[in-house]
Structure formats: structure tokens, C-alpha cells
Amino acid sequence: MTRMIHVFERTTHEAHEWVNDLAGRTGWSNEREVLRLLRTVLVNIRDHLPVNEMAQFSAQLPLILRGTFYEGWQPKKTPVRERHAADFIAAVEAQVGEVLDYRGESDIKAVFNVINARISRGEVEDVRACLPQELRDMWPAP
């Protein structure tokens, strides 16, 4: 039982590291809003990926974030065919746009930079390769 609890503590700590990293990059102070931004961007990335790539990417997320990554996923609706960065930005904005600190594309890029820092370079490159060109252009290379 102690071992199981240690797994929960570790993944909670790892998820907090992601949230704290993103909070530092965005300047946001509300952890709940930071987590919402992180989850929203991750889910919108997810919806662009083929199932195999989605599984490989999510395997590198902390367990708690992996759960939020898959929450609400509807396989028959993915991958989405949107081709424009503006559509991606609008989808994120629909979820976090009322957050006072939200600055649009720059906050989304902050999430991309957290992913670049915490996911292997090869996996980031694989994920980026699955995205439309406009999104690849928006996401800094790792």
C-alpha cells in the first residue's frame, strides 16, 4: 500500500512541476487557471494527433496530466482537420479567454515551451510533424 501511495505522491509532484513551470512562463498566479490553460492546450494538441502518436506523447506526461489529456476524448472525432492556427487559438480562447491574465498566442506558446522542456525532443518533433503547418510555425522547435 505504501508503494501505491508513493506513486500518487510522485505523479502529483510531477504535475505540480508542470503547472509551476507554466505559471513562471506566463506570470499567472492562479494555479487552477494555469492548469486549465495547460489542459486546454494539451487537449487541442491531442485532437490533432493520430491515435498512435497520441499514445506515445501521453506516455511522457505525468499520470495526472495523462488522465486530463484523455478526459472527454472521442476517437471518432479525431484527428481534427482544422488547418489554421487561428482556429486552434480560438478553441483555446473559448476555454480560457475570460481569464484576466490570458494573452492569447503568447500563453499558448508558453505551454508549447513547457512541453519542449519536459517531453523528449524526438517525441516533440513527432507531434509537431502531425500538426498543420501554421501550428508548427507557432510552436517553437525543441
pLDDT digits (tens, 9 = 90+) for 125-135: 999 999 999 99
CB atoms within 10 A of CB 138: 17
> What share of residues in the chain are helix, strand, coil (percent, to 5)?
70, 0, 30
What pTM value is reported for the model? 0.94
Which residues contact residue 81 at a Cβ distance below 8 angstroms, ignoring those fewer than 6 apart? Answer: none
CA distance 58 to 108: 18
29-63 pLDDT, tens digit each = 999 999 999 999 999 999 999 999 999 999 999 99
Q: Indicate if the pLDDT at residue 1 is higher than 80.
A: no
Q: Which fold has domain 2-138?
A: Globin-like (1.10.490)
For 37, the grid coordinates are 490553460
